[in-house]
Structure 1
Amino acid sequence: MRHLIFFSTLIFILACSKQPEGNIITVNGTITPHELGRTLTHEHILVDFSGAENYHPESYNQQEAFDRILPELQKLKAYGVQSFIECTPQFVGRDVILLKKLADATGLNILTNTGFYGAQNNKFIPKHVFDMPAEAIAAFYIAEFEQGIEGSGVRPGFIKTAVDRKPLSDFHAKLVRAAAIAHKATGLTIMSHTGPALPAFQQLEILTAEGVAPEAFIWTHASDEKDWTKLVTIARMGAWISLDKYGWDENYLKGEVLIYLKKQGVLDKVLISHDAGWYDPNQPDKAIQPYTPIFETLIPSLQANDFTTADIDQLLIHNPAKAFTVTKRLITSSN
């Protein structure tokens, strides 16, 4: 028995000591990109819309949240989903202990994040952050990467930031620069709640000025941009195009934008998800938006339009594995 305990402990230590570079960081430690499997790249478990000044996570009923979300996650087994990217930032409801409990209960690889969320007119930004220089904000992200989140031992698997759906303010430009600095130190991919193309292009300009390659950037809510040629332009620059409204718009589930992007030859830069869920502690009886329309409606529609199994695997397996692998994507002379 002692030998069994020893070897079990040794295996656990070795697993936890795996270097993140070239791997993917989940709430239960690092995995290889191959282990990520079929993945939903933008979803939510618990979201609190109170704002940073009214944020009181100690008042959450974590068990109720667990009980409400667990059945929705379990439905994903029927569709072969292995991994789930949880995109809720701090001060918006990030709860890494809840995520770990759900990962343990379902067997899903769940990723969480570090970062500050500036959208909705900075409602979710604590007051002291506004005067911090980009370097200090980045230092916070880096500390969570190196030391774990809030003493939990759980490490972020990506950086999540957010800007308003308009030209970047000085503060939002600073958030993007902080994310760039943190990426250079950690190799974590930068996911930015953005929407229209203009702030996406502006963010890429900042990243480029900081020496970070477009491949490090996920343009989140690119679904909101109606000029699809701009999706193609940014994809060809190397950035990831996140189409993540499939939980909300029945017309979008027809897959027309994906059909267009395939014809343009940029399907290898596209991520798809629902932006769905979630348990709201301020409205505990509110219905949970399901995580399944992609599998129930979108994929059959794409298959009817000559999407192959390889195309579907590109969107749900290969692209997520590349996008969330921890690696420093920097501009070099060869770029």
Structure 2
Amino acid sequence: MIYTARGPIHKSELGVTLGHEHIKWETDEFKANTMYFDKKYQEDSILSDLNYIVPIMLDIKARGGRSVVETSPPIGGQNVKLLKMLSEQVDMHMIPCTGWNMTKQLYDVFPLHFEEQLANRWIKDFKEGLDTIDGIVIRPGHIKLLLDKGQLSNSDKAMLIAAVKASKETGMPIHCHIMEAKMVHEVMEVLDREHANYDKFLWAHADQESNKETVKRAAEKGMWIGIDNVRKGTSPEKFELLKYVMSLNYAHKVLLSQDYDFYSEGKESLESHPCTSIFDEFIPYCYEHGIKKEEITRIMTENPANFYDMDAVESQK
């Protein structure tokens, strides 16, 4: 079962999916926390935002896209009411998330039982829903983490441990932003100590440095690989990494996406926005250089369906 803004769907319904995008990143953390904790939304703002986001979604749909994964955690302003309205207007699936929803300094103030309390919050988000709108309980379809650069901090370690606990309890996969390949090895040490299921863990932004040695190590562990900055003008370098992953016989555990902010791009220009670059540039480039369109379509259909498909939870049956 995959949890979307319109309720749960079977994995066969997901279709071609962009596995890492942002509908609208909210820089005002007070507003973001008000939506997450108080379930209060600015209706006028939502209607205004839709004017910029709906055309982009329709452009994606016109090229065969059927689903989008929202990777803005609650502190990034994930607006589940906006997601639901958008999903209904364009008839596409939107997968919301839970995850990092507080300043990391809270760990330094309240380190005692931090992992358990944070895990319990994310478990509650799933079991009770991020919100209930029009009778639909909107549950998160994944846990989104954002790790800082440099050495893995105590707060980041705690978030990883909490995410593993919550994942084991609910079946939610972990979608983890890691910008530096060297940090992946530290992350693996934490995951190994927690006996984490690597089949539930995605290294988002593996293409930031495209470190083949680390990508190979991640593949050996069974970790999912995110090639998710497939932006305008990047096709050659992204193709090379995908080709390498395919040489490892690991194409079945890759997620492809663009990591655009649809609202910002739409507000900049609805006529020349880059949010369909993966369809307009990358897929044709892959075809020209030896990867069939059918293979990319399979990667964008079957892989996200498998990653975001959650194990049945007894209490939710």
When normalised by structure 1's length, the TM-score is 0.82
Q: Which residue of 1 aligns with 2:120?
A: 139
CA contact under 8 A between 2:104 and 2:155: conserved in structure 1?
no
Cα deviation, 1:280-334, whole Å, max 9, x if unaligned, reads: 5xx9954475321111010111111221244213320111111111128xxxxxx
Q: Which residue of 2 aligns with 1:264?
A: 248
Deviates more, 1:284-293 or 1:261-270: 284-293
Q: Please, which runs of 5 or more residues in structure 1 have no aligned partner?
A: 1-22, 118-123, 329-335
Instruction: Report the Cα offset of residue 204 of structure 1.
Output: 2.4
CA contact under 8 A between 2:207 and 2:238: conserved in structure 1?
no
When normalised by structure 2's length, the TM-score is 0.86
Question: Which amino acid in structure 1 is aligned with residue 306 of structure 2?
Answer: K
1:196 to 160, 174, 180: 180
Runs of at least 4 residues off by over 3 Å: 50-60, 126-130, 248-254, 283-290
Structure-2 separation of matches of 1:204 and 1:238: 11
Q: Which residue of 2 aligns with 1:213?
A: 197
Q: Which residue of 1 aligns with 2:129?
A: 148
Deviates more, 1:149-158 or 1:183-192: 149-158
When residues 109 and 129 of structure 1 are mapped into structure 2, their CA distance, relative to the original with a 3 A threshold, is farther
Q: Which residue of 2 aligns with 1:63?
A: 47
CA contact under 8 A between 1:163 and 1:194: conserved in structure 2?
yes
Structure-1 separation of matches of 2:20 and 2:105: 27
Cα deviation, 1:183-223, whole Å, max 9, x if unaligned, reads: 01000000011112222222222222222121111001111
1:320 to 304, 312, 316: 304
Question: Which amino acid in structure 2 is aligned with residue 97 of structure 1?
Answer: K
Paired positions, count? 298
Instruction: Report the Cα offset of residue 106 of structure 1.
Output: 0.8
Structure-2 separation of matches of 1:287 and 1:223: 26
RMSD (CA atoms): 2.4
Q: Which residue of 2 aligns with 1:41?
A: 19
Deviates more, 1:259-268 or 1:159-168: 259-268
CA contact under 8 A between 2:3 and 2:95: conserved in structure 1?
yes
Matched residue SS, 2:139: coil
Question: Which amino acid in structure 2 is aligned with residue 186 of structure 1?
Answer: T
Fraction of identical pairs, as percent: 28
CA contact under 8 A between 1:159 and 1:188: conserved in structure 2?
yes
CA contact under 8 A between 1:253 and 1:297: conserved in structure 2?
no
2:10 to 15, 18, 32: 32
Cα deviation, 1:258-300, whole Å, max 9, x if unaligned, reads: 12222232211211100012325xx995447532111101011
Q: Please, which runs of 5 or more residues in structure 2 have no aligned partner?
A: 36-40, 313-317
Question: Which amino acid in structure 1 is aligned with residue 304 of structure 2?
Answer: P
Q: Which residue of 2 aligns with 1:11?
A: none
Structure-1 separation of matches of 2:220 and 2:288: 27
